[in-house]
Amino acid sequence: MIKFDYRNADLSVIGAENGLDLAQEFENYKSQISEIILDLNKRKDKRGQGLQWMNLGYSEETAWYVKEYASLVENRFDNIIVLGIGGSALGGLAVTNALLHPYWNLLSKEQRNGYPRIFFLDNIDPDSISSLLNMLDLKKTLINVITKSGDTAETMAQYMIVKDILEKELGDDYRKNIVATTDKNSGILRQISEQEGYKTFVVPDDVGGRFSVFSAVGLLPFALVGIDIDELTSGIKDMDLALKNTDIHQNIAGQNALIQYLMDTKKGKNISVMMPYSNKLQYVADWYVQLMAESLGKVNSQLENVGPTPLKALGATDQHSLMQLCNEGPNDKIINFIRVEEFENKLEIPEIFQYTGIGYLGGKSINSLLNAEADSTKASLIDYKRPSVTITLPKIDGYHIGQLLYMFEIQIAIEGALYGIDAYNQPGVEQARNYIYALMGRAGYEESAKSIHEKIGLTSVV
Ligand code: PA5
């Protein structure tokens, strides 16, 4: 199992001004945390609660269907392009980046065991989209368009561009190169898919985008590139079992939720830095940032604006960038380290120089250097009386990635309950979404367009 160490958030280590009396706080919040965990597990099967993501690790049906499709199209495609944004892209990006070879798309087909390359657009940048489409042989490219709502402007614009080019290049056969992941019944993409006859997968009800990584949203791309889905789901299930424990002393998601919450609300540490010491986990930090920001940045029932500000960092790279700010800037952050015990590769630093300044590195592994950097950063944070917590992964494999992501999802669900907000909606994003429709000339949004023009002083419509 992954491990969680919270000692460096305790007042015994960093002092009473910045640290929490964790033994006392665990006692104070024991029954509230226990009630939250019980409540989540009670409500998870009910409709309209937004908690179906808690059941995804057990969905053998979805796993079966994505595996079946992946085996049907095996060897037909050299590339997959995933179209989507936010929760429809970041989970896929995080897991593939963690579990595939770091330079997967540069490997030959043989080196990839026949599996395709994979690209996530996750944006509407004209340069990157054009360059990618010009570079790939579209006949050998499978497009997985993912949108739960079915009308997200960014995703549907990506799709419309790609569909048009595919149709021109492939003729009627282009439909075989598109697979859609969307709501079961509603939304424009569902309508189009039925008219066009695309193969489709479902984003289940009550699973919001940022909690959808273990639905077909993530599982389909994972199966297509040969990631072992059963390994992932067995990690999720083991973590789910562990996190059903209602005793905060035994529940690492409950512990981290409480620590993040109290650091923000009692100690003024309203910035939560996610800092993995592994390039393979850097998109896990991106995914965590979105999960935390969209879930917790809300207006609560007392009309207060609440929520911590997540910030991503990468060890050791950011020791030469953000760490100065973390140590000597405002004491408003809690650092979440992710440390890996055993990397896939071991790289020795050769003993080729005797200079005192670098000679000590010779004969050591770069693995131990990376972990020593994590430990030294932790130690320096203690000197500056800055709180941190550490999550340790025995190794980066499907089992532990399943555990890690699911643990964060439960942590955010518990934090949402502590803040007294709805962690599963995103009204602040919907507002800007409606403004996009207005600015881009969608029928019915004319008045809104006028008011935006006045508000921000725009003189012409796009
Ligand atoms: O987490 C969320 O709900 C959002 O980030 C969505 O995933 C994002 O807005 C994309 O929405 P959709 O899947 O409807 O295209």
Q: For atom 12 of ligand 1, which residue has the closest CA?
A: 147
- pLDDT higher for 406 or 426? 406
State which CATH number among 3.90.1150.10, 3.40.50.10490, 3.20.20.70, 3.40.605.10 fits the domain covering 52-232: 3.40.50.10490
Pocket test for ligand 1, best of 85, 288, 405 (most atoms within 8 A of CB): 85
The pLDDT value given to residue 429? 86
CA of 15 to the centre of ligand 1 (A): 41
Full strand arrangement of the beta sheet holding 333-342: 3-5, 388-395, 333-342, 271-276, 309-312
If one residue of 90, 123, 148 were mutated to test the ligand 1 pocket, choosing by the most ligand atoms within 8 A of its CB, it would be 148
Q: Topology of 3-41+234-419 in CATH?
A: Rossmann fold (3.40.50)
Task: Tell me the C-alpha distance between 328 and 330, whole Å.
Answer: 7
Residue 458 pLDDT level (bands cut at 50, 70, 90): low
Name which residue leads in pLDDT, 364 or 448: 364
Which ligand 1 atom is at minimum distance from the Cα of 88? 7
The DSSP annotation for 369-396 comes to HHHHHHHHHHHHHHHTT--EEEEEEEE-
- Count the neighbouring beta carbons within 10 Å of the beta carbon of residue 258: 27
Q: Given a cut of 80, is residue 457 above it in pLDDT?
A: no
CA-closest candidate to residue 120, choices 150, 152, 86, 151: 86
Note the pLDDT tens digit of each residue in 146-191: 999 999 999 999 999 999 999 999 998 999 999 999 999 999 999 9
Its pTM stands at 0.96
By DSSP bridging, strand 141-147 and strand 178-182 are: parallel
Contact between residue 290 and residue 209 where contact means Cβ atoms under 8 Å apart: no
**According to the model, what pLDDT value does residue 459 have?**
58
pLDDT in tens, 271-303: 999 999 999 999 999 999 999 999 999 999 999
Give the side-chain half-sphere CA count within 13 A for 56: 31
pLDDT of residue 68: 98
Mutate to test the pocket of ligand 1, among 149, 298, 422 (most ligand atoms within 8 A of CB): 149
Q: Which residue bears the tokens 């003024």?
A: 268
Stretch 63-89: mean pLDDT: 97
Q: What is the C-alpha to C-alpha distance for residues 216 and 221, in angstroms, rounded to an integer?
A: 8
Look at residue 450 in the predicted model and tell me its pLDDT. 85
Distance (angstroms) between ligand 1 centre and the Cα of 146 equals 9
Measured in Å, residue 70 CA sits from the centre of ligand 1 at 24
Q: What is the DSSP letter of 331?
A: S
Binned at pLDDT 50, 70 and 90, residue 337 comes out as very high
Residue 383: pLDDT over 90: yes
How do the domains of the chain map onto residue ranges?
3-41+234-419, 52-232
Phi first, then psi: give them for residue 298, nearest 5 degrees: -140, 175
Q: For 120-161, give the secondary structure using H, E and C.
A: ECCCCCHHHHHHHHHHCCHHHEEEEEEECCCCCHHHHHHHHH
Q: What is the pLDDT of residue 62?
A: 96
Q: Identify the residues whose C-beta falls under 6 Å from ligand 1.
A: 85-88, 147-149, 152, 155, 208-210, 294, 426
Give pLDDT tens digits for 230-282: 999 999 999 999 999 999 999 999 999 999 999 999 999 999 999 999 999 99
Work out the percent of the chain whose per-residue pLDDT is above 70. 99
Two structure tokens written together for 31: 């029954």
| Residue 132 contacts residue 259 (beta carbons within 8 Å) | no
Q: Which ligand 1 atom lies nearest to the CA of residue 87? A: 7
Please give the distance, rounded to the nearest whole angstrom, from the Cα atom of residue 89 to the centre of ligand 1.
Answer: 9
Residue 214 buriedness (CB in 10 A; 0-12 / 13-18 / 19+): buried
Averaged confidence pLDDT in the chain: 96
User: Closest ligand 1 atom to the C-alpha of 429?
Assistant: 9
Cα 62 to Cα 278: distance, rounded to the nearest angstrom:
30
The confidence score (pLDDT) of residue 453 equals 83
- Ligand 1 atom nearest residue 149's Cα: 14
- Give residues with Cβ within 8 angstroms of 305, minimum separation 6: 298, 299
Question: What does the block give as tokens for 412?
Answer: 């955010």
- Position 299 scores a pLDDT of 95
| Degrees to nearest 5, angle at CA 89 with 84 and 94 | 165
Give the Å distance between the CA of 209 and the centre of ligand 1. 5
CA 351 / ligand 1 centre spacing (Å): 51
How far does residue 129's CA lie from ligand 1's centre (Å)? 20
Give bridge partners of residue 340 from the DSSP assignment. Answer: 393
Spatial distance between the Cα atoms of 275 and 386, rounded to a whole number of angstroms: 14
Same CATH topology for 3-41+234-419 and 52-232: the answer is yes
Residue 202 in this model has a pLDDT that exceeds 80 = yes
Quick one: which of 192, 110, 180, 93 has its CA closest to 145? 180
